[in-house]
């Protein structure tokens, strides 16, 4: 129970910092990530984020919804991040949305927060790692340097699934 209180306290602090930064930040640092608790009245351990697809990738102009679940040991243990929006990427499981990223596993540091985890996922979209694929089809295309086929397939799924979500209005 003490762990759960620690996790909740840390997440409340992260939420306060996000809200404070949005109000005082004039250089649009949050244009590519929209992060908030899914239902604050129920639990602060479950968050939702919208990620804007990085430019110069097949995900450009897409808006991808991810689910972020923290357990009671957060921040000592990493959050569990899954894509709710279907995406074709070597390091994201096509059906479950699970993400293969070292900082979400053994390389996690309690100094990082949910915003940093989202930034790492965005970086992964720009720079896939074909050596540890969760989506073998996408991984094989990247590994075999068939980038044209990878891009066109990833772009097709982006257009089908990630262009329907709208970005929230600034508050």
* Cβ burial, residue 24 (10 Å; 0-12/13-18/19+): exposed
Q: For this structure, is 70 an active site residue?
A: no
End-to-end CA distance of the chain: 35
Structural contact between residues 51 and 33, judged by C-beta atoms closer than 8 angstroms: yes
In Å, what is the CA distance from 8 to each residue of 17, 81, 141? 14, 18, 41
Structure tokens belonging to residue 131: 């050596």
Identified catalytic residue from 70, 100, 136, 149: 100
Q: Burial, 105: exposed, middle or buried (Cβ in 10 Å; 0-12, 13-18, 19+)? A: exposed
Distance of CA 46 to the CA centre of its chain: 13
> CA 132 from chain center: how many Å?
18
Residues forming the active site: 100
């Amino acid at each position: 129970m003490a762990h759960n209180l620690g996790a909740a306290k840390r997440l409340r602090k992260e939420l306060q910092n996000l809200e404070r930064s949005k109000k005082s930040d004039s250089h649009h640092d949050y244009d590519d990530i929209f992060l908030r608790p899914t239902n604050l009245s129920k639990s602060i351990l479950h968050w939702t984020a919208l990620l804007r697809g990085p430019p110069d990738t097949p995900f450009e102009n897409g808006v991808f919804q991810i689910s972020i679940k923290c357990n009671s040991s957060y921040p000592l243990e990493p959050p569990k991040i899954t894509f709710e929006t279907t995406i074709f990427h070597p390091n994201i499981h096509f059906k479950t949305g699970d993400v293969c990223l070292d900082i979400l596993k053994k390389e996690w540091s309690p100094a990082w927060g949910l915003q940093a985890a989202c930034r790492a996922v965005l970086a992964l979209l720009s720079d896939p790692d074909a050596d540890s694929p969760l989506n073998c089809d996408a991984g094989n295309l990247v590994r075999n340097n068939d980038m044209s086929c990878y891009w066109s397939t990833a772009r097709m799924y982006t257009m089908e699934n990630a262009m329907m979500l709208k970005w929230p209005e600034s508050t």
